[in-house]
């Protein structure tokens, strides 16, 4: 381990440089990192990399899911809940089933159960890949919300399928009612444990005498506790992290100080930056280990099987996207749907093309045991590993490189907002200033006449000008200003709840600005 430490440091530097290059040439960094990992793996003398699946599931997965849960809008998640749950559960199951039948029919030696095992591995699109690629192109908010929400939940559903298929291969039998009960337990207990652990940590932040550093450390510990607690009772650790993360994200302004919120964002961005870079680089570096175990099947045949499964995944997802739109158009005649308008053919086509696979699929494949309980080799393990790698590589490179072009070419109209994001931001800014001035005049009229600092604050809101940093404020003025900032936060949260189609990112920009304003008080 220690003798390879310089190599690991070099990897970190290489990751930073490659992401710089990706930003420069407008390419999603997961694509470059995987390709770079492949190239590095062929360099003579490079240490052999072995990805421990437990390392991925325990060290990498909880914080990455947790950070994604903090970034998503609960309002948008609830608004598009039907299509998100259909993609995260129904489409994942249908995809696994399609892969199972195709693998059973076209790949020699693949039983239907082994096909379901492979389907459970490769069915979930990767959250990090889609998120990184969408940063380079402008898509309607509804589309990014659906993709983010789906990616938070589909890992859980695919891993559940994977577990049941693994048991069926090992025991040679599948009891459907036991599987149904286990599935229900994993869902309900996973969500319940995540909410319970999240509630406990929320109270700890609120009532214990923590400072900013302690708050940040607790946020890093939280997803690991959620994941371990859920896995200990054989429920879904993924759903526990996602549900707990959504709870804490939605309540962050109630138990974290402005300093903790601002510094926490910076720490988490750096932390996940390193984790994301490492996992994609490791995918490419793991190629020698995967190909070394490929025996009994020629490399060209194995690549052909990988291409076949990739085509099944892409076509199946596109058809599922059009099917979801069709069902929504029919359902709008009977129930209230999020949007009754016809999105046309462009939106489902793009949704169908955003099926990049990633590190969760590779970790699941690597976690297949080498031997069964009777000591015999696990059937087709090495081929499953190789097919999974081909699927990840092709979806990342082919779809990842072409998705930005496809989005620009189709020019999908934004059906959500009548105003541009900039116009909506300034509209909220004006309304926020009016609300603050109204509260100031109603509750602090006397102090406003006596305190120059408060008058300066009022002029700032009236003229959209910043308060000067060298303006000294009395403690009473600071307390009043803090109350005004809290009033603005409450108004923003209420506005966010009332305006169903308002982009929550605009609200969050204003909340971040209020946090920065509160932070300035420490230097006044």
The pLDDT score that the predictor gives to residue 313 is 93
pLDDT at 416: 57
* Same structural domain, 385 and 498: no
Q: Is residue 50 part of a domain?
A: yes
Q: Specify the DSSP element, H or E, that contains 279.
A: helix 258-285
Q: CA 483, 487, 493 angle in degrees (round to 5)?
A: 145
Choose one of 343, 376, 410: the last residue of a domain: 410
CA-to-CA distance for 389 and 370, rounded, in angstroms? Answer: 17
How high is the pLDDT of residue 472? Answer: 45
Considering the domain architecture, whether residues 382 and 317 belong to the same structural domain is answered as yes
Residue 470 confidence (pLDDT): 43
User: Domain holding 388: CATH number?
Assistant: 1.20.1530.20
CA distances from 179 to 91, 173, 523 (A): 19, 11, 59
Using CA atoms, how far apart are residues 351 and 368, in angstroms rounded to an integer? 30
* One domain for residues 338 and 487: no
Query: Residue 102's closest CA among 112, 91, 92, 90?
Result: 112
How far apart CA 193 and CA 205 sit, in angstroms, is: 18
Pull the structure tokens for residue 279. Answer: 């996992």
Q: Are 156 and 203 found together in one domain? A: yes
- Tens of pLDDT, residues 271-281: 988 888 888 88
Q: For residue 336, is it within any domain? A: yes
- Inside any domain, residue 497: yes
Residues 399, 502 within the same domain: no
Residue ending a domain, choose from 410, 445, 474: 410
Tell me how far apart the alpha carbons of residues 290 and 387 are, in angstroms, rounded to a whole number: 10
How many other C-beta atoms lie within 10 A of the C-beta of residue 441? 11
349 lies in the same domain as 464:
no
pTM above 0.75, yes or no: yes
pLDDT of res. 307? 95
CA distances from residue 507 to 244, 282, 429 in whole angstroms, order as listed:
22, 37, 10
Q: Does 316 lie in the same domain as 181?
A: yes
Closest CA to 200 of 153, 232, 240: 240
pLDDT recorded at residue 419: 56
Residue 426 and residue 404 share a domain: no
- For 280, the token pair is 């994609």
Domain that residue 73 falls in: 2-255+262-410
Q: Where are the alpha helices (DSSP H) in 354-420?
A: 359-366, 381-394, 400-410
**Cα dist. 124→88, 252, 485 in Å?**
8, 29, 42
Same-domain pairing of 266 and 165: yes
Specify which residues 371 forms β-bridges with.
377
Identify whether 416 is part of a domain: no
Residues 190 and 237: beta-carbon distance below 8 Å: yes
* Max Cα distance, the chain (Å): 87
Which parts of the chain register pLDDT below 50? 464-472
Residues 333, 444, single domain; the answer is no
Q: Are residues 406 and 436 in the same domain?
A: no
Provide the pLDDT for residue 354. Answer: 84
Give CA–CA dist 1/47, Å, rounded.
10
CA distance 200 to 232: 18
Place of tokens 């082919």: 398
The answer to whether residue 471 sits within a structural domain is: yes
Residue 110 lies inside a defined structural domain of this protein = yes
Residues 192 and 337 in one domain: yes
Domain count for the chain: 2
Establish if 415 belongs to a structural domain.
no
266: in domain: yes
Q: How far apart are CA 15 and CA 275, in angstroms?
A: 10
Domain C-terminal end among 356, 387, 410? 410
C-alpha distances in angstroms, 449 versus 432, 440, 484? 22, 11, 16
- Distance, in Å, from the CA atom of 252 to the CA atom of 258, rounded to the nearest integer, reads 10
DSSP tag of 356: -
């Amino acid at each position: 381990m220690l003798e390879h430490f310089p190599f690991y440091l070099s990897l970190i530097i290489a990751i930073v440089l490659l992401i710089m290059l990706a930003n420069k040439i407008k390419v999603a960094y997961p694509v470059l990192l995987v390709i770079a990992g492949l190239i590095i793996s062929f360099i003579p003398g490079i240490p052999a990399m072995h990805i421990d699946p437990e390392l991925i599931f325990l060290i990498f997965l909880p914080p990455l899911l947790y950070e994604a849960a903090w970034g998503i809008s609960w309002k948008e998640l609830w608004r598009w809940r039907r299509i998100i749950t259909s993609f995260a559960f129904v489409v994942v199951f249908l995809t696994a089933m399609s892969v199972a039948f195709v693998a059973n029919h076209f790949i020699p030696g693949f039983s239907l159960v082994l096909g379901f095992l492979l389907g459970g591995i490769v069915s979930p699109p990767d959250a990090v890949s889609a998120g990184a690629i969408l940063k380079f192109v402008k898509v309607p908010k509804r589309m990014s919300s659906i993709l983010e929400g789906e990616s938070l939940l589909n890992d859980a559903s695919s891993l559940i399928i994977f577990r049941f298929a693994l048991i069926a291969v090992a025991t040679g039998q599948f009891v459907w009612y036991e599987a149904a009960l286990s599935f229900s337990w994993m869902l309900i207990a996973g969500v319940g444990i995540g909410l319970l652990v999240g509630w406990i940590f929320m109270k700890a932040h609120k009532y214990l005498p923590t400072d900013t550093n302690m708050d940040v450390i607790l946020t890093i510990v939280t997803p690991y506790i959620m994941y371990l607690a859920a896995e200990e009772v054989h429920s879904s650790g993924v759903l526990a992290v996602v549900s707990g993360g959504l709870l804490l994200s939605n309540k962050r302004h109630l138990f974290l100080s402005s300093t903790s919120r601002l510094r926490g964002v910076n720490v988490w961005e750096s932390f996940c930056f390193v984790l994301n870079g490492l996992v994609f680089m490791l995918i490419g570096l793991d190629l020698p280990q995967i190909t070394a175990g490929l025996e009994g099947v020629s490399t060209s045949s194995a690549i052909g099987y990988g291409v076949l499964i990739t085509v099944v995944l892409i076509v199946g997802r596109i058809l599922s996207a059009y099917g979801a739109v069709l069902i929504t158009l029919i359902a709008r005649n009977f129930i209230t749907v999020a949007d009754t308008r016809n999105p046309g053919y462009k939106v489902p086509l793009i949704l169908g093309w955003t099926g990049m696979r990633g590190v969760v699929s590779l970790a699941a494949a690597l976690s297949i045991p080498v031997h069964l309980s009777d000591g015999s080799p696990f059937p087709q393990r090495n081929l499953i590993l190789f097919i999974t790698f081909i699927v990840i590589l092709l979806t990342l490179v082919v779809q990842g490189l072409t998705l930005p072009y496809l989005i620009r070419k189709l020019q999908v109209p934004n059906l959500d907002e009548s105003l541009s994001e900039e116009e909506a931001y300034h509209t909220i800014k004006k309304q926020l200033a009016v609300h603050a001035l109204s509260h100031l005049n109603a509750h602090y009229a006397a102090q406003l006449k006596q305190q120059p600092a408060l008058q300066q604050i009022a002029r700032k809101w009236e003229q959209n000008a910043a308060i000067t940093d060298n303006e000294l404020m009395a403690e009473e003025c600071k307390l009043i200003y803090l109350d005004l900032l809290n009033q603005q936060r409450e108004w923003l949260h209420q506005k966010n709840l009332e305006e169903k189609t308002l982009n929550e990112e605009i609200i969050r920009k204003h909340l971040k600005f209020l946090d920065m304003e509160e932070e300035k008080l420490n230097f006044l």
